Structure 1
Amino acid sequence: MFKKTCLALALVGAAAAAHAGPTLINEGFDDVASLAAKGWKIENHGSPAGAIEPWYQGNVSTGFTDLHGDPTAYVAAQYGAVAAGGILSSWLISPVFSTAENLEVSFWARGDGTPGYIDQLAYGLLDVSGAFTSFIPQAAITVVGEWTRYSFQLAGQGAGSSARFAIQYFGNGDEANVVGVDDVAINVPEPSTWALAGVSLLGLVAARRRRTQA
């Protein structure tokens, strides 16, 4: 049922957008230890599990600072969440938020840029229980060695509807290195921002139809 009702536009980009409505979630990860008290979940579904927490407070050993220059104010994940030969599945799950209105969900992510490693994130929505089996992915990305903003627009689902946002660090642990995530935000966008997103969607649909008819 959740998959049938959550309809989203995947609009990935690096440019920040203006917001007229309220901010539902604004997390800068200054204190990862406090996330659980604020309704966040951190889970490791990788196998076999390793010695490192699936998501943890950023630190100088990663080789980069947070988006604003602080050496630790971000949340990080790395290959050590699984043992050698393991498959990563480290989940960072937001508190429950209302999906009654149109929303923009955004976050910043980066890797350390070491050649030879592939660090991958998938992001999207979960139901209110936070069960990873309910995951509706919006996109999967390979993060690079600089902070980059990713976002998508979520169509309002009507009164009483709600969901969670999730980021999964996934892939072969032996081929992965480390990622950072910062400034997760869920906002009600200004009407002009949403209208532009709708025009973009119609353009994509029209282009697909032209290719089909050719």
Structure 2
Amino acid sequence: MRKGSLLLLLASFGLTFLLQSCRNDEYLTVPPPVPNQSFSEEFDTVSSALARGWQLANTSVPLGSGIWQQGGGIPPWFAPYSSAGTYAGFIGADYTSTSADQGVISNWLISPALTLQNGDKIVFYTKGWVIPASATDSTDYANRLQVSINTTSTDIVVGKGLDVGNFNTVLLDINPNYIEYHTDPALYSAQAYPGNWTRFEATVFGLNGPTKGRFAFRYFVENGGYNGLATGVAIDKVSYQSASH
């Protein structure tokens, strides 16, 4: 009887120790919270944005001279959506991204490295560069912009032309059908790339958990160029909003 009681006592002690050990090991299975990744970018100066980790990559085919630049060009195309005091307080890229009359424009504006999570939001303002087409109408000759993420790594590997490299998850595609914007009411379509500053929002999805990577804006126009589609697009007041904060 004494031996039985002793064995029962030892078994009870062992079970208590095991349960306590499991409780103490919970920190090993629960991942630490992801620090707040939220940030905003006004692009009041491109040089400052680059210093904060933004990257530029023009991989158009054939390659042109155009890059993402302050105010879209010199002089700036128009007034920014938001600015801390400079008229050219936005960033833009145009049809000179390719040297062809009709080439593949693929010009990337890539974010700093960060930890992506499902539900995170990328909020920004954009508008197309609208130029005169006739005495009664102005147009953008059909612009297009994509928002993509790289969930493979924090590198900035983007392919040439139609290839997207590691940025193979598209969160948002603005004007994929290449509808032209027109100021003439008879030609106007609400499906075109906006001709006025307009707010857009892209939501991160499809991840298995917190993932180190980057997001990118891709100025992407097939058959774009000097005698093809596209004029240019501008981006301003970008904010990344972490879902968990």
> What TM-score results when the alignment is normalised by the length of structure 2?
0.62
1:82 maps to 2:105: no
Aligned position for 1:105: 122
Partners of 1:37 and 1:57 in 2: how far apart? 14
Output the amino acid matched with 1:90.
N
Superposition deviation, residue 92 in structure 1 = 0.2
Residues 24, 190 of structure 1: CA spacing in aligned structure 2 closer, same or farther, 3 A cutoff?
closer
Superposition deviation, residue 179 in structure 1 = 0.9
Backbone CA RMSD of aligned residues: 2.4
Superposition deviation, residue 152 in structure 1 = 2.2
Residues 126, 186 of structure 1: CA spacing in aligned structure 2 closer, same or farther, 3 A cutoff?
same
Aligned position for 2:166: 134
Partners of 2:89 and 2:197 in 1: how far apart? 13
Superposition deviation, residue 131 in structure 1 = 1.7
1:50 maps to 2:64: yes
Output the amino acid matched with 1:129.
D
Residue 111 of structure 2: which of 68, 75, 94 is its match? 94
1:66 maps to 2:52: no
> What TM-score results when the alignment is normalised by the length of structure 1?
0.70
Aligned position for 2:215: 165
Aligned position for 1:25: 39
Aligned position for 1:41: 55
Q: Give yes or no for contact 1:62–1:112 (8 Å, CA) kept in 2.
A: no
Return the structure number with greater helix share: 1
1:122 maps to 2:139: no
Aligned position for 2:27: none
Superposition deviation, residue 62 in structure 1 = 4.7
Unaligned 5+ residue runs, structure 2? Answer: 1-34, 132-138, 159-164, 176-192
Aligned position for 1:145: 195
Partners of 1:124 and 1:178 in 2: how far apart? 19
Larger-Rg structure: 2
1:177 maps to 2:231: yes
Partners of 1:139 and 1:72 in 2: how far apart? 26
Unaligned 5+ residue runs, structure 1? Answer: 1-20, 192-214
The sequence identity of aligned pairs, in percent, is 27
Superposition deviation, residue 23 in structure 1 = 5.6
Superposition deviation, residue 84 in structure 1 = 2.7
Superposition deviation, residue 175 in structure 1 = 1.3
Residues 61, 178 of structure 1: CA spacing in aligned structure 2 closer, same or farther, 3 A cutoff?
farther
Q: Deviations over 1:39-90 (max 9, x none)?
A: 11100100122222x2001157453211026520000000012113222100
Output the amino acid matched with 1:108.
Y
Partners of 2:77 and 2:92 in 1: how far apart? 12
Partners of 1:46 and 1:187 in 2: how far apart? 30
